[in-house]
Amino acid sequence: MTRATLNGITALTDAESVSLLRETVETPSPSLNERAVAELLVSRMRAQGLNATIDSAGNAVGATFGDPLHPIPGVEDIIMLGHMDVVPGYVPIRVEGRTLFGRGAVDAKGPLCAFLSAATRIRPSERSRVIVIGAVEEEISTSAGARAVRDRYRPVACIIGEPSGVTGVTIGYKGRLIAECTFTRTLSHTAGPDLSACDTLMTWWRTLGSTITELNQGHTGAFDTVQSTVRSIRSSTDGLRETASCCASFRLPGWLSSSEMREIVAASHSELLTRFRGAEECIRAPRDSSVVRALSLAIRHCTHQRPALVLKTGTSDMNVVAGRDGWTCPIAAYGAGDSRLDHTPDEHIDLDEYLTSIRVLTTTIESLMK
């Protein structure tokens, strides 16, 4: 596309959008250390004519007009919410043909940079404002960035920046509960009859697995069943007592709340000590909302392909902002990239799909604006 300036905002060209993505991927931003990439994104938004700042949570926030941190009476806000942080692990940054490799290329700097680019291309409106947010701490259980903006805005529509594939629209994410589970035992000889702390931990986990299998009876498919995973195991002894502990993650369907799962885990063994965190409820947005319809029509128009509605077994900031006591506006998640590459050592994004996603987003936002 050629450069254009509308209402004081200069549109990013395709080449500039690719450069933005590469520079953003090249800027390290592990969870709790997102400041450098936030400053980069604010600088780029300001250079294009958006009003941009870093809020008290550390989020990068830009608006097509007005103070990005405050609602404007009589103006409807459409929010594009992505996240800046990435999981640990360095993926060498390189471009091979039309493919960009690097940590965060898919999850989720690609979708976030597409948001920024699309915001510079939309036609101006006095009654609708677009706000682009790069949130902190999405990849850890705190989700501090999303919680801060959830309490600040009341948008009429929201798109979450997560990889769905250029023709996919994500309408649901499972709930989650993380449990730190610990057993402590008086040390005994390994030749004796008593179970060690590690034996107890493993026996308990097998028994809990049987309980979860029973819970899943009558339910099918990954999105509608409880999934459980041991994320880490540790053991220690001081010569008198021994301790075995694990971090367990539970992915929850809509029919089981995080509080119910918490009760199941807590009651599973009388000697189990537990500490819970990261509780989120399953979210499933309507298939026929204005955001889903707008994205679907834009996908058909820009790709000449049939859009696919997606349900994901992970969580995202959509669980936070659209969950209990959250926004009631139409919402869905969208972004170029293969989500199977999230968190992997081979993370990469197709640059042509990335550019197509910008056109899809631009068309979508313009159809949602008054």
pLDDT at 3: 46
Instruction: Give how far Cα 301 sits from Cα of 295, 328, 350, 360, Å.
Output: 10, 28, 20, 8
Select which of 138, 139, 242, 353 is catalytic: 138
H or E stretch covering 147: helix 144-150
How much of the chain exceeds pLDDT 90, in percent?
92
What does 59-126 look like in DSSP terms, one character per residue? -EEEESSS-TTS--TT-EEEEEEEE--B-S-----EEETTEEESTTTTTTHHHHHHHHHHHHHSPP-S
Nearest 5°: phi and psi at 5? -120, 125
Domains plus CATH for the chain? 5-173+282-368 (3.40.630.10), 175-279 (3.30.70.360)
Whether the model clears a pTM of 0.75, i.e. scores above it, the answer is: yes
Read off the pLDDT of residues 276-295 as tens digits, 9 standing for 90 and up: 999 999 999 999 999 999 99
Q: What is the rounded CA–CA span in Å between residue 353 and residue 318? A: 23
User: Is the pLDDT score of 191 beyond 80?
Assistant: no
Is pLDDT at 2 greater than 70 in this prediction? no
Query: Per DSSP, what are the bridge partners of residue 200?
Result: none
Residues written for the chain:
370
Note if 85 is an active site residue: yes
Residue 138 falls in the annotated catalytic set: yes
Among 303, 281, 308, 305, smallest CA distance to 292 is for 308
Task: From the candidates 55, 76, 85, 139, give the one annotated as an active-site residue.
Answer: 85
Whether pLDDT at 129 is above 80: yes
Q: How far apart are CA 2 and CA 146, in angstroms?
A: 34
